[in-house]
Amino acid sequence: MRVTERTYQLRELAAQIAADIPGDGEAVAAIHALGDSAKEQRRAAALIRADGFACEHRNYMRGARLLQAAADGGTPEPPAGGEEAFFQAVDSLEALPPDEAFAMLASEAPALRDLEHQVAASPSEPGLDDKDAGDRAGEIIEDLARLVGPHAAGGSPLIRSHTAFGHARVYLVGKAGLLSDDY
């Protein structure tokens, strides 16, 4: 798929329209008013659907459905079953401060508490001074990815989400004193 700067712009505009305009007919009309071709609308919809993080957010997913409807000249497909409950869980997680978000995730995935204790104890480990901060953060992230996020072995859709991984990553890397713009 050929993605252009306009594809990215249209993706963001569609998410904004999805957030601002509640009626499907009016929202599709607003997408049409942007003046993009059906091909570009389909491309932007596909870009949203290919982005795991965007798929976890109601405005992006509604934006993808609006773009597809505009391109096809129809009405948007209804949300998939259970999608709204998942979006609500993501919204709830995102509304929490990092420590509370981590606690919420750990209540479902108790192994996160073990990793938290390991991270908290790591500054006293022998040989730690030999490790670069990026390597240490990378190790934490690698261990975390087995428990939370898209590569986790199990758990609810929220536990296996990019959003959960991102929040747990920020909390644990921050707890290790390694939080930077890269992590």
d(CA 96, CA 19): 21
31-85 confidence digits (pLDDT tens):
999 999 999 999 999 999 999 999 999 999 999 999 999 999 999 998 888 899 9
Torsion of CA 122, 124, 126, 128, to 10 degrees: 60
In the chain the first and final C-alpha atoms are separated, in Å, by 29
pLDDT at 144: 96
The answer, yes or no, to whether residue 147 has pLDDT greater than 90, is yes
Tokens of residue 20, six digits: 């601002």
d(CA 19, CA 139): 38
Tokens of residue 25, six digits: 């007919």
CB-count exposure of residue 139 (10 Å: 0-12, 13-18, 19+): middle
The answer, yes or no, to whether residue 135 has pLDDT greater than 90, is no
103-131 confidence digits (pLDDT tens):
999 999 999 999 999 998 876 554 555 56
Q: How many residues does the chain have?
A: 183
HSE of 104, CA atoms in CB hemisphere, 13 A: 21
Tokens of residue 150, six digits: 């898209």
Residue 150 identity: P
Which residues have a Cβ under 8 Å from the Cβ of 30 and sit 6 or more positions away? 17, 21
